[in-house]
Chain A
């Protein structure tokens, strides 16, 4: 075949296509020398960062490069088998990147080498492609201009803090690959060469990890749209440009369909709905958004691309390096650079490339400043209406990338123009300007990078120059992991001490960051409290249940955990965790007690594994024996209290299947929904404070009353956030009642009725708003948002209603109705009890506690407290007390058994009930000789430490005392716990007390005053000490108010010192009754015969179950986190088992009521996982097609060149 014929055959199809696109051959690659320079810079930076041959980690990123294979396994499906199982579709997008790195890890390449490789690739891509992008936007400039832009994109204040210091790998990768995608897209639009689009699409598949956050996707497409608009302005073929944008979008969606489909399926799933309602609320997000916009959206920082706090607050960084950039001289240089770019932009304002870059800068500023003025209302409008905008709750953090890009694009060309202009006047400036630019960008801004400071933090050990983000995981973790995998790779384990998301390990180089057991161990484990549905409630209660209950094995079996791990290698004080020594002793105790069913298994370094006896463990899938109805909010603690045994199951009463289960239920146990303290003797208490009842100037019958209401509404609308609006509504609600009172006293009944009508109307909306705001703004320990304030407000309302009830207004009973409506609403919100406290001579209103309980099955219930939280030492037992159930008073004898304290048995019908009694036998928990003392401070501090006897961290304590300041300063009360954080203050390590209160002296009249407070201690603490202290009086700073620094000189300050004398008397500390009360009913039911169950695990999203000898309906429990995506199939049938039979079992797991009899097989599948397969097939097909076309086009170009040369 002749060469000409061959040429025609090969080139014909591609030439047809090629006509559509601009010739690829026109593209000129970057100068080799430049590439080598960028390559060397990347190598040098990588070498500096990894010179110690350790992986980098800590903070939010953890240590992903410790075990990439483990991460890869997690990304292979949207269902993660870690923790108790969890549905995380975002992880699927990590698949290609993790596949490559896990392949390399399996080949034996060390984690730090892989991390260095990752960092090197990110650096090189970022440098090379920002160079090319600048060249594409601003053509005809010398290479040095593009180089400066490229280095500035790497070394700027935004990237130093938000990208490299935070070290979140997906964000880092996104920042690095963004210029590459923008350049390829720009080239595609300009040259219409499909090869660029092909590369764009193929690379988006490989770097899909960069798009694992919806925020990144939005920024990405915003930038592509912005480019398209500018190209549209320039190009005459406008339709073609629009078409190109649409084609790119469609193909990108198809290529990334495999993970986009997962995320889309998740967004419409029940799991997402429950997460978004429980963990993210519009109110909380709006408040966070406003706060962050206010703090980080200031122009004095934005113009310099600086994070408002990081570069301005005094954190404990090495050399306090971020503050170096706050020195006046450097600030002047930073401002000069910004201002010069703006000046240059004005002079070149007709150039589209400048308009494009300046547009990025200005729009970026508008977006990155969030809702702060000016014109922040636009962002606020979208933020409050469109939930997807809420991904930008911290606007500067994510959207700051846009102005950074605009700034970086302009800096190189603008400096180049400056050099050119000045060198015309003075030739030596031709070298001087680039030299200054180099010094500023590469030396000054690059300093934290070259020095490695950017990889350090502000807290120990991250602020140790030798440590920083370097992490060295002790080898005993690998040994422990290997041992456990060999023992049983499918079982879970629990770790104690158990803490929150953050942890400080005592590893060779230290570690401060997220808890890392998910990476450290192959086996699923519960080692920290994380905000996942169902999981967080279980994990947050686990340590309490472990420390308080000898039969904890029942809980462990429910959670399908066979092992317990003791980890002492933590800094427990700074991690907010329990003292490991306490846990160690507890394990020793449990091992020696047969009832605990636990034994020592193995030790690796300081890590100790304990194993539960086989007889008390359950397989992952089992058929339940007895059923426990745990009420509407069942938690695993109720399972222990009910008396149920290993193999039983607990269910929530809110599921459709409940009626069928109730017929065979043995135990009914419910926990109180609300608790109210009525200190007495007055109830309701009237508080006449201006925040409850504002001043009323006009009666409702006044002619201008309607105008006042309009003014109130106008004023309400001036508040932008829901919380402030609610405060305003509460204020106006109280105002209405005062209007009623004033109208009644003026004999204006009509006016009173008018105000009451408005009150009735507004009450409903206020109640629903309180409910809404409480979901996100309720503080820990509070039942409702601003509990104390609301109690005062509605108690005062109730007081007034009692008054109105006696008036003529109530002749038709309307006031009584409205009062009932108020009581019903506020009791539902857990603000006040519904029933009035009954008071008699032998049942006075004194420290009364009221428990609100919801009963969903009528019957005789025992009122009980778990013995573990109701100490006989505190309250005493075997006594008769009065107890009020709703509006009836009973007299009952308190009884006790192994694990419960009984407060009598009562018939409780279905619905809401209140159980109340006076707290009794309150012992003082301090030594008698310490109840009164004096503090005499003549020179220096005088203090007294008072330890608390019989301390229980899960109780609340009322502290009260009287104090008399004879002369000088007031006393300070501090509550010190054994796990108080240690902080560095002026270079000295000091304890950060759990509670601190200074009681200042009066201005004029010194008398004995009472003080009381309630302390709710950290549940992880083991001891509590009260510290009273006083310091000498000193008026030095008042005298030298113009120069108070003088007083820091002790010799001067001392001369103004006068002694302090304070007398403390009647000091008392009493434990409060437990906040948790339970009601329990045990019914006899027919004995159940459970079928035989065996199962095989095909994958962690697919199980096959064999059921034999099923005689009656039974409950099948699958101990993996509850999710509606788990579906059950009968006998290989494609039809799913009825959805109504699926319910939440054991507070977290999946349960199905199986109504089939005999022998049969079941299949359990996590259905959303199949979307990944479907998506992958489609994406691979499209990707293959794109690859072929791209290859064909490239071959065409190559051959054209060769043939052309030949010709």
Chain B
């Protein structure tokens, strides 16, 4: 576990780097290759980055969940007005829900905080 934790910075930076490169290729070069690979990969990269971000920046789990809720609120509101990006916002929100939920569960089990 300790060993894994020591890799958190490189993993975080590498994931962020790949995501940025892909985004640049997608936006600037409009390469079909990048467009194709992007939908498969970018949610995974985001998930890794968010998990790493919790470690790197010591984000409180409550805040992760609150951001997830905030994104869900925004996504929900956008969906009421049938704005196309609503679904993407909700998807990012959902990733945060999963990340937050898992950290919360781990914390409960680790600290034995069961009520």
Contacts and interface: CB of A to CB of B under 8 A. Distances in A.
Interface of A: 233-234, 298-300, 303, 328, 331-332, 335, 338-339, 342-343, 346, 349-352, 355, 358-359, 362, 365-366, 373-375, 377, 711, 714-715, 718, 720
A365 B109 CA distance: 23
Contact of A715 (B36, B93, B115): B36
A374 B43 contact: yes
A233 B114 CA distance: 8
Given A233-B114, A349-B62, A350-B108, A375 B40 contact: no
Given A299-B75, A300-B87, A355-B104, A342 B69 contact: yes
20 contacts: A233-B108, A300-B87, A300-B90, A303-B90, A342-B72, A346-B65, A349-B61, A350-B115, A355-B101, A355-B105, A355-B108, A359-B101, A373-B91, A374-B91, A374-B92, A375-B43, A375-B44, A377-B40, A711-B33, A714-B33
B23 interface: no
Nearest to A301: B79
Most buried by B among A233, A300, A339, A711: A300
Contacts of A303: 72, 76, 90
A328 B80 contact: yes
Contacts of A720: 40
Among A342, A377, A714, find the residue whose CB has the most chain B CB atoms closer than 10 A: A342
A352 B94 CA distance: 21
B2 to A, nearest CB: 24
Contact of B76 (A328, A339, A366, A714): A339
Contacts of B105: 355, 359
B43 A373 contact: yes
B73 A339 contact: yes
B33 A715 contact: yes
Given A374-B43, A374-B91, A331 B37 contact: no
The 3 closest A-B pairs by CB, nearest first: A374-B43, A299-B90, A300-B79
A298 B76 CA distance: 12
B108 A299 contact: no
Nearest to A375: B43
A518 B113 CA distance: 59
A366 B36 CA distance: 23
Contacts of B79: 300, 331, 335
B69 A352 contact: no
A374 B114 CA distance: 30
A303 B90 CA distance: 9
A300 B76 CA distance: 7
Interface in B59-82: 61-62, 65-66, 69, 72-73, 75-77, 79-80
A373 B114 CA distance: 33
A interface majority secondary structure: helix
Given A350-B113, A355-B108, A366-B98, 8 more contacts: A299-B90, A299-B91, A300-B75, A339-B69, A355-B104, A374-B43, A374-B47, A714-B33
Contact of A362 (B37, B73, B98): B98
Interface string B33-47: 100110110011011
B108 A352 contact: yes
B26 to A, nearest CB: 14
Contacts of B92: 374
A712 B79 CA distance: 39
A299 B62 contact: no
Contacts of A373: 39, 43, 91
A299 B114 contact: no
A323 to B, nearest CB: 14
Contact of B104 (A332, A349, A715): A349
Contacts of A714: 33
B51 interface: no
A349 B43 CA distance: 25
B19 interface: no
A300 B46 CA distance: 20
A283 B13 CA distance: 39
**Which has the most chain B C-beta neighbours within 10 Å: A299, A335, A349?**
A299
Contacts of B101: 355, 358-359, 362
Nearest to B95: A374
Nearest to A369: B94
B98 A349 contact: no
Contacts of B62: 346, 349
B114 A234 contact: yes
A298 B89 CA distance: 11
A377 B47 CA distance: 13
Contact of A343 (B69, B95, B97): B69
Nearest to A335: B76
Contacts of B104: 349-350, 355
A373 B39 CA distance: 8
A331 B76 CA distance: 9
B22 interface: no
A558 to B, nearest CB: 54
Contacts of B87: 298-300
Contacts of B39: 373
Contacts of B47: 374-375
Contacts of A234: 114
B49 interface: no
Contacts of A377: 40, 44
A362 B80 CA distance: 22
A695 to B, nearest CB: 14
A299 B61 CA distance: 22
Nearest to B113: A350
B115 A332 contact: no
A217 B90 CA distance: 31
Contacts of A346: 62, 65-66, 69
Contacts of B46: 374
A349 B69 CA distance: 13
Contact of A332 (B37, B66, B80, B94): B80
Residue in A328, A711, A718 whose Cβ sees the most chain B Cβ within 10 Å: A718
A352 B97 contact: no
Contacts of A362: 97-98, 101
Nearest to B73: A339
A718 B80 contact: no
Contact of B80 (A335, A355, A366, A374): A335
A359 B40 CA distance: 25
A365 B95 CA distance: 11
Contacts of B115: 350-352
Contacts of B73: 339
Contact of A718 (B40, B61, B72): B40
Contacts of B44: 374-375, 377
A679 B88 CA distance: 51
A204 to B, nearest CB: 30
A715 B32 CA distance: 9
A355 B104 CA distance: 9
A362 B72 CA distance: 13
Nearest to A234: B114
B109 to A, nearest CB: 6
Contacts of B97: 342, 362
Nearest to B98: A362
A233 B109 CA distance: 7
B21 to A, nearest CB: 16
A1193 to B, nearest CB: 30
Contacts of B76: 300, 303, 335, 338-339
B79 to A, nearest CB: 4
B107 to A, nearest CB: 9
B77 to A, nearest CB: 8
A298 B88 CA distance: 10
A299 B86 CA distance: 9
A678 B6 CA distance: 69
Nearest to B112: A233
A715 B36 CA distance: 8
B63 to A, nearest CB: 10
Nearest to A714: B33
B91 A718 contact: no
A299 B95 CA distance: 12
A365 B94 CA distance: 9
